[in-house]
Amino acid sequence: MNKQKVNVLNVSFDNLRQEELLAQLNHRIQIQQKTFVVTANPEIVMYANQYPNYMDIIKKADYITPDGIGIVKAARMLKTPIIERVAGYDLMLELLKNADKLNQSIYLLGAKEEVILKTVKKIKTEFPNIKLKGYHNGYFELTDKTLLNQAVEAQADIIFVGLGFPKQEEWIQNYLQHVTKGLAMGVGGSFDAYTGTVKRAPAIFIKMNLEWFYRLLKQPTRFKRMLMIPKFLLAVQKEKRKR
Ligand code: UDP
């Protein structure tokens, strides 16, 4: 097996430091190579194992990054450790920083109207050199071609899609069939986090790998979704015995 890949329940993660990953992504943006990035957490891995169509989509990704400490723990349990967690949110911010330095262009899709407007405003102030090619909220008919065409015509170097999974990856797969260049990445609720609509955990929680706990306290509605984590760990245990 490629040393730079780690398999967790049939999902093949790139085992790279965030810095190395960013360098590779940036290179691909500069040479205009089409790139699909999936940041996968345990929920995504479980969902992909349940829905083959979604698994097929994420298998087409050029990079799958370990988003969440659950994936890092699972890899350790399977005795194929992952170097570090690469959170989708952090990756988005780093890509924005790069884009600002290199005058790259972006397109933003997802979140509620007020959140995407705030995101646009904040990006314009924080990263004045980024060319914003367009944006749209995430509440539209997935079959609507107008929005897809708009995004395709924008020819952005980077498109961030925050529709939550599996929608964002489904949309990206379709989008990538129509463009010749650009990096596309699903960012979940990152626009909400970026604008402070949903607060990210204080540094101490992140450092202690307790970000999930903080989010649970802040958004108790996530509880049902989190029940999936023990199921994920059980599945990993089973896989470990099999190996
Ligand atoms: N969202 C959207 N369109 C939809 C459903 C969700 O734009 O039809 C957005 C929602 O507003 C939020 C994000 O998708 O900004 C999903 O956030 P969530 O916290 O569920 O994703 P996670 O970060 O956990 O992947």
What domains are there in the chain, each with its CATH number? 5-196 (3.40.50)
Closest CA relative to residue 102, chosen from 167, 158, 162, 179: 158
Atom 13, ligand 1: residue with shortest CA distance: 189
Task: With a cut of 90, say whether residue 59 has pLDDT above it.
Answer: yes
Q: What pLDDT does residue 43 have?
A: 94
For residue 174 the two structure tokens come to: 């379709």
Q: Examine the pLDDT at 2 and tell me if it is beyond 70.
A: no
Q: Is the CB of 68 under 6 A from ligand 1?
A: no
User: From atom 5 of ligand 1, which residue's Cα is the shortest distance away?
Assistant: 163
Mean pLDDT of 215-219: 83
Cα–Cα distance for residue pair 185/140, rounded to 1 Å: 19
User: What are 112-141's pLDDT values in tens digits?
Assistant: 999 999 999 999 999 999 999 999 999 999
Nearest atom within ligand 1 for CA of residue 192: 15
Percent of the chain with pLDDT over 70: 99
> For residue 221, what are the contacts with CB-CB under 8 A and spacing of at least 6?
none
Give the distance (Å) from ligand 1 centre to CA of residue 192. 9
